[in-house]
A and B are shown apart, each in its own frame.
Chain A
């Protein structure tokens, strides 16, 4: 089993392996097997297309967590120039699960903030699997207030399983840290564009997710609790995560339907990790386009619209 492929992608993986084999044979034999390779490639593409056109929410959830999925620091050099990472909350520590810094986007000075997961085991632990501690939210807040003072638009990239459920995180007031970010971001006097690039896990995601626009990559997810967490509470078994993923409407298409997301950014066939450059290019195009609009708006109007947008996130009858 190829670990770069998810379980539901295994038939695709097998085909690709076969193509690879034929290529090797083709290299050291005189027989022309180019036709056969081409036939298999067409078949493989069709299979990928059909697999990816009928993904279940739970499968999308696995794609959002794919070990090869591009993370914030994979996008930064592909989208921005002159990025300089800035560290620390000035109070307790520097949280590596959230990164941030100043940069330029298409020539414009901006602030970049995003969750960061690790690629190998060592880095995963260093980044705490992308689960921020209070220091992370406070660093993000410090950088956002810095951005406000220097009129830098803020671009955030959301990709976290959620806030870190640890003793120290509670002791250092993670509730307050998250809450404060929500309140401050709602009124921060600079444009804010948030993009869910992977997992949008609950309060840990929202803590850098309040702004003027919410964009979402096609195979990102955003939910109030993880499918496993929801399943273990409501179905009393984490094995029902697929049902919970379905019920909670965590995928970009559903969230767009409910007007919670402003724009879905399509992913390359097979997901962002198959073609990170292509993904970054589409994301950059969308960010520049939205920022061009927001940067021209009067700040008071922008804030009034942001507030109205937040107040509108509700469904009820009276």
Chain B
């Protein structure tokens, strides 16, 4: 938040998400190294800091837009919307949280799935919208994902998923837990058919999303320095009173411990993933 925003009374403060559509200012500060960057250039650079290579968050739409070929895109199940099966209410109603998230992100839910092409290869790609309730997985996220799997199965295409999620959506309780089983079961079908599933973990990929679809890639990829794990670092510190090792639950840590195949910079994702899929499916260079 900049000093000007702080001065504004909260009622007329602009929504945090309008930052993305209309840049709040000309300058942005890199959360990684603190460098002051030209906002437009940062955006052109896919939110990667040119000074320290910090990979900032990318919205689901921009992610898919920057990844897929421009032609032949078609969104899968765009009209699916969450209901509130438990009439869940904490300090706020779940319904209100959903409405607010929809307003803030201009998305109906926390996962966007598209049929499209990657350097000419048929593909289904899914991307989590972290700004939508922390990218949490409820019924609609699970359903969109499995419909994406169905589309890949129908077309004999590969599936790529960009995860960015805090985990399960508590407001859907056991329904959200069951999405872990549901998405994992669907990935099992891709495996049976020999269709590649490339999982790309971005910052953060935690909890129920990490412990289901995200870790089940035929190839597990992560962006640099992404937080990836099951239990959150604070929970681990509090419950177990263990000091956390340097770089704990970061991509490089996971690579070292054998959980990832490779770490790729956002700039090379298109080329490298296209080639991975081409090799796995016995095609020449694309």
Residues of A within 8 A of B (CB): 163, 165-167, 169-176, 178-180, 182-187, 202-203, 206, 209-210, 222-225, 229-230, 233-236, 243-244, 247-250, 255, 258, 260, 307, 310-311, 313-318
Q: In the complex the two chains form, is B168's CB within 8 Å of A165's CB?
A: no
Question: Which of the residues A179, A224, A316 comes within 8 Å of B139, measured between beta carbons?
Answer: A316
A173 touches B258 (CB 8 A): yes
Classify the secondary structure of B's interface with A: helix
Task: Decide yes or no whether B2 CB sits under 8 A from chain A.
Answer: no
Sample of 20 A–B contacts (CB below 8 Å): A163-B230, A163-B231, A165-B235, A167-B236, A167-B248, A169-B230, A170-B236, A174-B211, A178-B180, A183-B216, A210-B181, A222-B174, A224-B168, A224-B174, A235-B91, A250-B173, A314-B139, A314-B142, A314-B179, A315-B172
> Contacting B211 at CB < 8 Å: which of A179, A260, A316, A318?
A179
Whether A187 touches B192, Cβ cut-off 8 Å, given contacts A235-B91, A248-B173, A260-B178, is yes
Question: Does B212 count as interface, using CB distance less than 8 angstroms?
Answer: yes
Task: Evaluate contact between A203 and B170: CB separation under 8 angstroms.
Answer: no
Are B231 and A170 closer than 8 Å at their CB atoms? Answer: yes
B211 contacts which chain A residues (CB < 8 A)?
163, 174-176, 178-179, 203
CB-based contact A179/B212 at 8 Å: yes
Identify which of B215, B216, B239, B259 contacts A165 (C-beta below 8 A): B239
Judge whether B214 is part of the interface by a CB distance below 8 angstroms. yes
B210 interface hit (Cβ, 8 Å): yes
Cα distance, A61 to B74, chains bound together (Å): 46
Q: Is the CB of A175 within 8 A of B215?
A: yes
New contact pairs (15) apart from A223-B173, A249-B86, CB-CB < 8 Å: A165-B236, A175-B215, A176-B211, A186-B181, A186-B185, A187-B192, A223-B177, A224-B173, A247-B90, A258-B175, A260-B175, A314-B139, A314-B140, A314-B143, A318-B81
Partner of A182, one of B89, B180, B189: B180
Least CB separation from A202: chain B residue: B177
Asked whether, in the complex, the Cβ of B168 is within 8 Å of the Cβ of A225, the reply is yes
Q: How far is the CB of A140 from chain B (nearest CB, A)?
A: 14
| Cα separation A316 to B4 with both chains bound (whole Å) | 41
User: Is B188 at the interface (CB under 8 A from chain A)?
Assistant: yes
Q: Give the docked Cα–Cα distance between A177 and B146 (Å).
A: 21
Interface SS of A by simple majority: helix
B213 within 8 A of A: yes
Taking the complex as formed, is B82 at the interface, i.e. its CB lies under 8 A from any CB of chain A? yes
Contact of B89 among A166, A247, A316 (CB under 8 A): A247
Q: Which of B205-229 contact A (CB under 8 A)?
A: 207-208, 210-216, 228-229
- A184 and chain B: residue at smallest CB distance: B188
Closest B residue by C-beta to A306: B185
Residue in A closest to B206 when the chains form the complex, CB atoms: A175
B19 sits at the interface (CB 8 A): no
B153 to chain A, nearest CB (A): 12
B245 sits at the interface (CB 8 A) = yes
With A165-B239, A166-B236 already in contact, the answer to whether A175 and B214 are too (CB < 8 A) is yes
Alpha-carbon distance A170/B143, docked complex (angstroms): 28
Nearest Cβ in chain B — how far from A178, in angstroms?
Answer: 4
Picked from B80, B242, B245, the residue with its CB within 8 Å of the CB of A166 is B242
Instruction: Please give me the residue from chain A that is nearest to B191 by CB atom.
Output: A183
Provide the bound-state CA to CA distance between A160 and B285, in Å.
Answer: 49
Quick check: A224 and B170 within 8 Å, CB to CB? yes
Instruction: Specify the chain A residue showing the minimal Cβ separation from B249.
Output: A170
